[in-house]
Structure 1
Amino acid sequence: MVVDDSAVIRGLLTRSLEADHSIKVIASVGNGEVALKTLGRHDIEVIILDIEMPVMDGLTALPKLLAAQPGVKVVMASALTRKNAEVSLRALQAGAADYVTKPSSTSELTSADNFQRELTEKVKALAAATRSAPKAKPAVKPVAGTGTGKAVARQSGSLYGGRDIVLRKAPIISPRVIAIGSSTGGPQALLEVLVDMTATVKLPILITQHMPATFTTLLAEHIGRASGVPTREAVDGDQVEAGHIYLAPGNYHMVVEASGASSRIRLNQNPQENFCRPAVDPMLRSMAAVYGAGLLTVILTGMGSDGQKGASVVVEAGGSVIAQDEATSVVWGMPGAVATSGLCSAVLPLKEIGPSVRKMVMRSAA
């Protein structure tokens, strides 16, 4: 269902979505109140929800829609302004699954191939997640040594599509730095993990979250307020300091380079990787080269496979990788890619990731 007060925008969104023959727009309405009435009459998996509308705006409608149909995925749509970015982040915290930034004019929207690709991919990924909707599944932990430095975690039934999750034994070397990659569902997941982790973990933390500029500025502010840890959108040349959190700014890859006995952050606008900038892979490649076995990587919820190739480099350098599990991920794309590639030392529910990191850091420091 498309919800926008502009009939022109609704038509353009509908045509963009239905250009992909696997997507069917079954309702197009002009405000949140009508969307609520329409929701009960149709089998809807994903809602594209505008923010600014008369009668009932998107932020007001969001919790009502989620209550009316638990499990429906809502994608917030707004123009890229600081005000709308702030509202979108509030919506994500209130249960929206993702967001898209609409081009600033109908002419731009008509010709925005990247926007159409982003919109259709998000809708398809969220719809697939809605259909699979895994029930609660146990954390995946090593249960049997293989003699190769790995362990195989087997669970009965169709857990993770019936696939074995092959886990590596966690390195005993103390982590010196933490890298986190996330995308769809990431802002909510980041806040939960960081608030749970940073009270005792004082390592530097570098984060790449797939987000445009303005959004990353506000997300850094949100993380800083929630965690109580100095957090900033990274600036080229920043020295990486313990007890600080650095977030890759929108439209820039964030990498690390050695600088004497310390390390510094560098930003670049090299080509997109995995259709993203910032992307997780370049961050992980650079950090693996600088920190080696001292790098602990966490891959949270997100569509696609960004982070998989970088995580492979991390493991080759002796570092370790933890992934969020399928049941607690909004989309099990990025974490699923690393979990099913034999790169992880653990695959955990979101609520267990912070405590697990704390234990790894404190055990190594003991």
Structure 2
Amino acid sequence: MDKKIKVLVVEDSPIMRKLITDILKNDPEIEVIDTAKTGKEAVEKAKILKPDVITLDIEMPEMDGITALKILRKEVPQTKIIMFSSLTQEGAKITIECLTLGAYDFVPKPSSKSFWESIKKIEQDLIPKIKSVTPLEKIKSIYRPSYVVSEIKKGIYKACGIGVSTGGPQTLLKIIPELSPNFPAPILIVQHMPPLFTKQLAERLDSISRIRVKEAEEGEIVRDGIVYIAPGDYHMRVKKENAFVKIKLHQGPPRNFCRPSVDELFESLAEVYNGKTLVLVLTGMGSDGKEGAKKIKEKGGVVLAQDAESSVVFGMPKAVIEEGLADEVINLFKIPERLKELFGVK
């Protein structure tokens, strides 16, 4: 077994601090090396201990989570920071800001009044995210950098689909604001997030982009030059109705433990747009998007996968690449220009 993942738990509530610590200590692959009650204490301990992961509460006395995050990103840039967020509109807004500032991921604070349900919820949400941390040096030593697998036609695509999970907000911030409002196709995105958070993400991207970004709505007509983000807890599909393509939302069973699911979106894009679909599978845990990418390829469409070096978590792109579905493996920072080129943007 590789060495244990070292975690610093930062939480001002003694009850929550002990709860998180005890849950993590029960996992043989994780070591809680210390705890902190304030953001200031977290910064001081992180500089000395150099943890692999910090769990950081957003609302704390003396120094709030956002301020602590900014300092920690400078002082211990290799440490992954997972935020604990409240399930409120304001909590979602602050969390999106944290993710755009470089937080690794977030975990919603349990809203259940049941102690045991709270424990189960934290175990389900937090432990997989901690275990998904892989040192960049290890990734670079195993996987090739960006490369082209097959020749890709240009200027023929009628829709662009994007699937993304852990690391998504900061990744999308590098892509969407670089696109022009005359982008000649709709862009449909599945980002694994709960309700409230997807709306805040859409509003954040819209505020800094020239292209319009919005949370998708049931039944709306899909139009070129607009970015649609699937709402949390709803699968998003597209469907041809007469002369129009429309958004269809539903709450069918989760796929790959996800709702919204990338597979749901990609499969519907393949049905509607056939070979004139181009999709990107970006950073994220798991393999959501792999089955959908198969459908895209069966219909003659194109699949791009983010490379290991620029992925926060090389799970979803890796699944697509290893299945032989990627036409191109591409670095994040090359994606905006590549999209312009492939979609024929002047």
Change (3 A) 1:61 1:133: farther
Distance 2:169 2:116 in 1: 26
Counterpart amino acid of 1:77? F
2:10 to 3, 16, 22: 3
Matches within 5 A, 1:224-303: 224-303=206-285
Q: How does the TM-score come out when normalised to structure 1?
A: 0.87
Q: Which residue of 1 aligns with 2:84?
A: 77
Q: Residue 321 of structure 1 is aligned with which of 300, 303, 320?
A: 303
* Aligned-partner Cα distance in 2 for 1:79–1:295: 37
SS in 1 for 2:147: coil
- Measure how far apart 1:112 and its partner are: 5.3
Correspondence 1:1-366 to 2 at 5 A: 1-104=8-111, 107=114, 110-111=117-118, 113-126=120-133, 128-129=134-135, 132=138, 134=140, 139-142=145-148, 167-171=149-153, 174-362=156-344
Is the Cα–Cα contact under 8 Å of residues 279 and 304 in structure 2 kept in the other structure? Answer: yes
- For structure 1, list consecutive stretches of 5 or more residues without a partner in the other structure: 143-166
Note the C-alpha offset of 1:206: 0.5
- Cα deviations by residue, 1:279-309 (Å, 9 ceiling, x for unpaired): 1011111111111101110111111111111
- Whether the 8 Å CA contact 1:168–1:342 is kept in 2: the answer is no
2:304–2:326 CA contact under 8 A, matched in 1: yes
CA RMSD of aligned residues (A): 2.1
Q: Which amino acid aligns with 1:141?
A: Y
| Contact 2:54/2:79 (<8 A) preserved | yes
Aligned length: 339
SS in 1 for 2:223: coil
SS at match of 1:80: coil
Please state how far the C-alpha of 1:107 moved relative to its aligned partner.
Answer: 2.9
**Residue 330 of structure 1 aligns to which amino acid in structure 2?**
V
Contact 2:181 2:212 in 1 (8 A): no
- C-alpha distance 15-328 of structure 1, shift in aligned 2 (>3 A): same
Partners of 2:192 and 2:271 lie apart in 1 by 22
Name the CA distance, whole Å, in 2 between partners of 1:278 and 1:129: 28
Instruction: Encode CA deviations 1:250-293: one digit per residue, 9 max, x unaligned.
Output: 00000111111221111111111111111101111111111110
Q: Using the alignment, how far apart are the partners of 2:221 and 2:256 within structure 1? A: 27
Partners of 1:51 and 1:77 within 8 A in 2: yes
Q: Distance in 2 between matches of 1:283 and 1:93?
A: 24
Percent identical residues: 40
Q: Is the 8 A contact 1:255 1:286 kept in 2?
A: yes
Whole-Å Cα distance in 2 between the matches of residues 111 and 4 of structure 1? Answer: 16
Instruction: Give the Cα separation in 2 of the matches to 1:83 and 1:180.
Output: 26
Are 2:267 and 2:292, in contact at CA under 8 Å, matched by a contact in 1? yes
d(CA) in 1 for partners of 2:95, 2:328: 32
How has the CA–CA distance of structure 1 residues 38 and 109 changed in structure 2, closer, same or farther, with 3 Å as cutoff?
Answer: farther
Contact map agreement 1:181 1:299 (CA 8 A) in 2: yes
Aligned amino acid, residue 103 of structure 2:
A
Change (3 A) 1:275 1:138: closer
Please list the CA deviations of residues 321-350 of structure 1 after superposition, one character each: whole Å capped at 9, or x if unmatched. 111111111111111111222111211111
The separation in 2 between residues aligned to 1:35 and 1:130, in whole angstroms, is: 23
8 Å CA contact retained: 2:212, 2:227: yes
Alpha-carbon shift at residue 173 of structure 1 (Å): 6.8
Output the TM-score relative to the length of structure 2. Answer: 0.92
Structure 1 residues 66, 173: CA separation in 2 closer, same or farther (over 3 Å shift)?
closer
